[in-house]
Structure 1
Amino acid sequence: MSESGAMGDTAAWNTYAQQKPDRRATNAAGEATWFNWTQYPDHGPGVELLALAPASVVLELGCGKGGNLAHLATLGHRAIGLDVSPAQLAAARERWGSLPGVELRQAEAVGHLGGTEEKLDAVFSVFGAVWFTDPEELLPAVRERMRPGGVFAFSHRPAVEGCYGCQASYINRSEDEDPLVVKRWDFEPGRWIEILGDHGFSEATAEVLAAPPGPRKIGTLLVRARR
């Protein structure tokens, strides 16, 4: 990613951070931390999808305000979160920064992965950097840093029918300002399985989880594979 591209993304995600509400104090079960793959509260699977051994090293790409990362830390894992947005990371540090095991870093995903020798037991992204990074650049970098057998998993909205590959995604600002534009990469579930296989991942699965009952109609694409 070019310097100008990185700066543009930082501005976009700082704007997004200001619009996104903070995670609730507790979930429906009364828990102070929890893991959620979907855009709906108290819906879908949890941290079990990462199949973590005790005291694993886990990296979140695009950690946002850090709620999922914090839950991993409470389970005894070393939970590393990357985000390009200082505003997102500031919110994460304010709420979760004193939690043992949480590490927050301002960095772009591909650049960070290529500049470290750290070995990871799992890598995940929830509506985060995997959606907004070219998989031809990201997937080799992720695989290089993962231990054999580790889980790579991510979620985001399903692709709009007929709109695949690199797409424009808009982050609205005020009525007097044009929206900020970032790139995202959308594929059908079967195509994600092919892409992961092409980059050396195995046991790949991809499905669209239905939205919970009610007027909501947009499901969640959930993809999982092993190194």
Structure 2
Amino acid sequence: MCAIQERDLWQESRSAGLRGTELHQGDALAFLSGTTTRFDSVLSVFGAGYFTDPALMLPAVHEVLVPGGVLAMSQHPPIEGCYGCQASYIPRGPDEDPAVVKRWDYPPETWIDLLRTYGFEDTTATVLPAPEHGRRRIGTLLIRGVRSA
């Protein structure tokens, strides 16, 4: 999420010149529950929106958005039949066990229903295909909702 992504050189170079952009490192839910700031938009680019239970994340985001504010998320599309909480093993060093990371995978129509359940309107969820050229073969699921008044 734009307001809570880890700060690194890539992010700083990407946000350079964007007035009003704040980057914070930490737990997304803790940040959202602890802030009194209201946001025009919350962005999750393969981030907390993907790796946090939507039953916890969506109400927390809804709470910090101004009426008419936009939630926009991107993530990999789900694998057919593999829906809900999924676990991934992320390799670490040669002498370490892999890290276990949970992610929430749903088809586009389920994301639309989830956003509506938690008070979002004008919801969309669309899978963009992978680029025709290059090595990437997995598309991107784009999810968007507008906070109700």
**Is 1:126 aligned with 2:45?**
yes
Residues 28-67 of structure 1: matches in 2 within 5 Å? 59-63=2-6, 65=8, 67=10
**Is 1:223 aligned with 2:147?**
no
Question: What are the Cα deviations for residues 94-143 of structure 1, in whole angstroms up to 9, with x where unaligned?
Answer: xxxxxxxxxxx332111111111111110001011111101101111111
Tell me how far apart the structure 2 counterparts of residues 64 and 189 of structure 1 sit (CA, whole Å).
30
1:94 matched to which residue of 2?
none
- Corresponding pairs, count: 146
Residues 1-227 of structure 1: matches in 2 within 5 Å? 59-63=2-6, 65=8, 67=10, 70-76=13-19, 78-81=20-23, 105-214=24-133, 215-227=135-147
Tell me how far apart the structure 2 counterparts of residues 134 and 69 of structure 1 sit (CA, whole Å).
28
Tell me how far apart the structure 1 counterparts of residues 76 and 94 of structure 2 sit (CA, whole Å).
26
Question: Relative to structure 1, is the Cα distance of residues 75 and 177 closer, same or farther in structure 2, using a 3 angstrom cutoff?
Answer: closer
Large movers: runs of 4+ above 6 Å:
none
Q: Which amino acid aligns with 2:78?
A: A
Decide whether the 8 Å contact of 2:6 with 2:26 is kept in 1.
Answer: no
Shift of 1:144: 0.6
Q: What secondary structure, in the 3-state scheme, does the structure 1 residue paired with 2:49 have?
A: coil
Shift of 1:206: 0.5
Tell me how far apart the structure 1 counterparts of residues 35 and 95 of structure 2 sit (CA, whole Å).
42
Question: Relative to structure 1, is the Cα distance of residues 185 and 75 closer, same or farther in structure 2, using a 3 angstrom cutoff?
Answer: same
Q: What secondary structure, in the 3-state scheme, does the structure 1 residue paired with 2:66 have?
A: strand
Tell me how far apart the structure 1 counterparts of residues 8 and 88 of structure 2 sit (CA, whole Å).
20
Over the matched positions of the two proteins, sequence identity in percent amounts to 49
Q: Which has the higher contact order (CA 8 A, sep 6+)?
A: 2
Structure 1 gaps of 5+ residues are 1-57, 82-104
Cα RMSD, aligned residues only: 2.0
Tell me how far apart the structure 1 counterparts of residues 12 and 73 of structure 2 sit (CA, whole Å).
14
Structure 2 gaps of 5+ residues are none
Question: Relative to structure 1, is the Cα distance of residues 192 and 66 closer, same or farther in structure 2, using a 3 angstrom cutoff?
Answer: farther
Tell me how far apart the structure 1 counterparts of residues 83 and 7 of structure 2 sit (CA, whole Å).
25
Decide whether the 8 Å contact of 1:61 with 1:128 is kept in 2.
Answer: no
Shift of 1:175: 3.5
Question: Relative to structure 1, is the Cα distance of residues 65 and 209 closer, same or farther in structure 2, using a 3 angstrom cutoff?
Answer: farther
